[in-house]
Amino acid sequence: MSFPQPDITPLSAPYWDGLKQGKLLFQQCRACGNRWLPARDACPNCLKREAEWVESAGRGRIVSWVVYHVSYNDAFKDRVPYDVTLVELDEGPRLLSNIVNGDAGRKLSLHAPVALQIEHEGDLALARFKLV
Ligand SMILES: [Zn+2]
């Protein structure tokens, strides 16, 4: 089974295109400075529609994680157990990801520093992280 594909829209396309170019981008509000992921057309803080895309330095910390021991999609049946980890970038936005060297969650700890590691699944580039 093929890797599940995201629903890429004109709004989210810069995020996915950025990853293909080796950059992790997030949105930043020109009005209030708020920063966020995933893409949305209005600032979740002030609701103005003045977002710009900004490149992350690719550093962050682990906020939370779970370990999947059961595959709910056949595409992942050969990958269990694996982690799904919430990472907070140093710039503030949070995103769900995987830790590539986390030994299926056994090496993860709260606030552990991580660094971006872009990986490819077919034509898709994904923002994953490694413990540093
Ligand atoms: Zn704002």
Which residues have a beta carbon within 5 Å of ligand 1, which is an ion?
A: 29, 31-32, 34, 43, 45-46
Residue 54: the pLDDT is: 98
Going from the Cα of 90 to the center of ligand 1, the distance in angstroms, rounded, reads 19
Evaluate whether the domain defined by 13-131 bears CATH number 1.10.10.10: no
Tell me if 6 sits within 8 A of 124, measured CB to CB.
yes
Q: What is the full per-residue pLDDT of the chain (132 aa) written as tens digits?
A: 688 999 999 999 999 999 999 999 999 999 999 999 999 999 999 999 999 999 999 999 999 999 999 999 999 999 999 999 999 999 999 999 999 999 999 999 999 999 999 999 999 999 999 999
Going from the Cα of 38 to the center of ligand 1, the distance in angstroms, rounded, reads 15
Under the phi-then-psi rule, with left for phi > 0, alpha for psi from -120 to 50, and beta for the rest, what region is 105?
left
Residue 2: the pLDDT is: 86
Going from the Cα of 87 to the center of ligand 1, the distance in angstroms, rounded, reads 22
Compute the half-sphere exposure of residue 119: CA atoms within 13 Å on the CB side of its CA.
12
